Structure 1
Amino acid sequence: MSKDGLFIVDADSHWSERADLFTSRAPAAYKDRVPQPRDVNGVPTWVMDGHAMGRFSPGGVVARDGSKEEADKALHHWTFDQIHLGAHDPKVRIGVLDDLGIDAQIIFPSTIGLGGQDLGSVDDAALTRLTIQIYNDEMAEIQEQSGNRLLPLPLMPAWDIDFCVSEARRVAALGARGVNMTSDPQDLGSPDLGDPAWDPFWEACTELHLPVHFHIGASVTGMTFYGKYPWPSHDANTKLAIGGTLLFIGNARVVTNLILSGIFDRHPGLQTVSVESGVGWIPFILETLDYEMSENAPRQLAGMKKLPSEYFRSNIYATFWFEKNQGKLAALVEAVGEDRILFETDFPHPTCLYPAPLEAVEEKLNTISPEAKAKILGENARKLYRL
């Protein structure tokens, strides 16, 4: 509990995936094929069945001693003996939560793909099924052993709709409180999420009370944009800042497509979360959607059950952590909806609020009502994740 007696939930944090995450649980016949770090041209790389996926690294900036390192150095040069133990050890992570005054934490991957998209890069159904289930089983065990204080979201195999449905049902039975989904399954050979072929998945998630999470950069498409945002002449640290800035706004693309897809008309109870995207851009995008649809697609607008902007308050959440809004936070919260904002720290990633997340947001959150503050810091998440 925080010093004010509020229930605090961190709705976005990350693991640093350890080297034996998959090999430690794989059957003997698959130990050499599941994802594992190997040297590829001098770079530590996740390799799955001979296919290079992405850099293997701690993927964070919080050091073993609790200090924070420069992002480019930490992300590209650190080894696991340098990252904070809480980045990958669940027991130590609980201690981090206690130190920070946080009651529960939602956790996402780092270097295997923020939405697990990299795990679908091999064309072997048995191998990809095993890999996804190894990850999801370990996350379920961590959640149970933590007494529902750590909630690492299971990954969805977006390359196979039927498997997504069955895996959603399986992880729900294991206690999952949500699922982590790539925003662009078409990258992996499936229809895009607006295709009615996905309706059985949305139906299952609605029935099982599993909010569907779309983390920034959680697709091949999203990370391709990330690499192209900065101009080549920028230095490495500035490129990281530019990429990070525009990844936040990149989730406007996901929210826009979700709203206009008809998904929420067909599944009005479905809940989704735009993760690590911030909230400042949301009022503008919602206003723009209403205007653009009225100007450019009035017939399609007439076929929607609500204005585009109205779907956010019924079907979408977003996460808040660093924004100040120049003393206008109250107006922003009113525009987005105090029931639709979650708090996050992003531990141990480069933009994290560590080492004092509650202190970092205290002054700005004191400009809104106590009721809204309590909702944003934890009560919205308590309801969404059934805590």
Structure 2
Amino acid sequence: MCPTPVAPYVLDADSHWSEPADLFSSRAPEAYRDRLPRVVEVDGVRQWIFDGKPMGAFIAGAVIGRDGQKSASATVLHEWTVDDVHVGAHDPVERLRVLDEAGIDAQVIFPSTIGLGGQDLATADQSLARLAVEVYNDGMADIQRESGNRLLPLPLMPAWDIRSCVREVARVAELGARGVNMTSDPQDLGAPDLASREWDPFWAACAEHRLPVHFHIGASVTAMTFYGKYPWASQTESTKLAIGGGLLFIGNARVVTNLILAGIFDRHPELRTVSVESGVGWIPFILETLDYEMAENAQADLAKLKRRPSEYFRTNIYATFWFERGGNRLADLIESVGEDNILFETDFPHPTCLYPDPLRSVADKMATLPETTRNKIMGGNGKALYRL
């Protein structure tokens, strides 16, 4: 395949692993191999088991088959294992071939089946949970290094404990990380919510080490609870998936809203955050809404902020773009959101992914934009953000 030229440098800001069965056991200290996440057959069904308790089915969370074809039904997302899906979904060497075929220079990678924000690695034994996070992060650092910084699997955070998060930020920075993957609702795991000033040491550490904090859609217990409740019960399974997925995009408006109004960016102006796999179409409306609602309903709290709520997006927040339409609408969106704050993504190998030719799928849209704007969105912004 000859990739369609779109920009001189292309960075994919959102893709995913299909976690292999030995992800933890192959790297775990021998004394903990039976306690860290592993795959066990229970009543004829292969499941992830963590410290003797089920985490969920051993599935790939992917829709690209081993033959390279994208399934017409997204329900395979919950059926296929790594034996059924494209080898590039779980093998770093093959993933680099996927990037080469697609014309992508570098790619940011998130989990699939251990929680999009790593939230499923929380367990009652916090020291064991912390070890699981460290084993995962060490493995991802190895993949990043061996790929020559083309594959950027973001490290997870032990979000149930603020001090542990601060220590892990420093540790993964030493390993060469270019950002961190954070759950949006650490209160689900027993920690304060992110609006609490108790998290200020974490924000400060991320800013100090120049590690943007990523909030993927569905990256918390709370978010995935909403995902299951969005569709009406009488919808088909495929339509339920479409409804849940679509509303998860907009669900990140909740994350962006809370980040801005918590005053975090006043206290940590160098902090950068990314709303991942959420699109950009809803952002202008939400920013306008924040200005209006705060002025109408929370004037005293608004006065505590140094700027209007809508002004923080351009200085501290990025969003990812992949399927939204071109023409004047896209140009208007970019003008509202800011051309320096949009990243390109493919979502490989998930249901909405731009596969098999992601650059061709956006070429017509990008052609409507000035070259400098196009180059920023397709890779320039990401290259700067991730220090590549």
User: TM tier, shorter chain?
Assistant: over 0.9
Give the match's secondary structure for 1:47: strand
Give the match's secondary structure for 1:317: strand
Equivalent residue in structure 2 for 1:88, among 75, 87, 90: 90
User: Is the Cα–Cα contact under 8 Å of residues 9 and 379 in structure 2 kept in the other structure?
Assistant: yes
- TM-score normalised by structure 2 residue count: 0.97
Deviation at 1:245, TM superposition (A): 0.4
Asked whether 1:77 is paired with 2:89, we answer no
Alignment of 1:341-356 (within 5 A): 341-356=342-357
Distance 1:149 1:303 in 2: 42
Query: Structure 1's 228 and 325: CA in aligned 2 closer, same or farther, altered over 3 A?
Result: farther
Letter in 1 for 2:70: K
Describe the superposition over 1:13-44 as per-residue Cα deviations: whole angstroms up to 9, x where unpaired: 00000001001111222111111123445543
1:103 corresponds in structure 2 to 105
Give the match's secondary structure for 1:114: coil
Distance 1:199 1:355 in 2: 42
Distance 2:81 2:295 in 1: 53
Describe the superposition over 1:217-254 as per-residue Cα deviations: whole angstroms up to 9, x where unpaired: 00000000000000000111000000000000000000
Alignment of 1:143-182 (within 5 A): 143-182=144-183
Letter in 2 for 1:7: Y
Q: How many aligned positions are there?
A: 386
Q: Provide the alpha-carbon RMSD of the alignment.
A: 1.3
2:54 corresponds in structure 1 to 52
1:113 corresponds in structure 2 to 115
Letter in 2 for 1:289: L
Give the match's secondary structure for 2:173: helix
1:216 corresponds in structure 2 to 217
Distance 2:23 2:322 in 1: 29
1:6 corresponds in structure 2 to 8
2:267 corresponds in structure 1 to 266
Letter in 2 for 1:315: N
2:375 corresponds in structure 1 to 374
Ranges in structure 2 where 5+ consecutive residues have no aligned partner: none
2:329 corresponds in structure 1 to 328
Deviation at 1:129, TM superposition (A): 1.5
Asked whether 1:231 is paired with 2:229, we answer no
Alignment of 1:237-316 (within 5 A): 237-316=238-317
Deviation at 1:126, TM superposition (A): 2.1
Distance 2:10 2:57 in 1: 33
User: Is the Cα–Cα contact under 8 Å of residues 253 and 283 in structure 2 kept in the other structure?
Assistant: yes
User: Is the Cα–Cα contact under 8 Å of residues 186 and 194 in structure 2 kept in the other structure?
Assistant: yes
Give the match's secondary structure for 2:244: helix
Give the match's secondary structure for 1:156: coil
2:68 corresponds in structure 1 to 66
Distance 1:230 1:326 in 2: 31
Distance 1:18 1:189 in 2: 29
User: Is the Cα–Cα contact under 8 Å of residues 135 and 154 in structure 1 kept in the other structure?
Assistant: yes
Ranges in structure 1 where 5+ consecutive residues have no aligned partner: none
1:137 corresponds in structure 2 to 138
Distance 1:72 1:320 in 2: 21
Query: Structure 1's 5 and 261: CA in aligned 2 closer, same or farther, altered over 3 A?
Result: closer
Deviation at 1:199, TM superposition (A): 0.6
Give the match's secondary structure for 1:113: coil
Equivalent residue in structure 1 for 2:17, among 5, 15, 18: 15
1:37 corresponds in structure 2 to 39
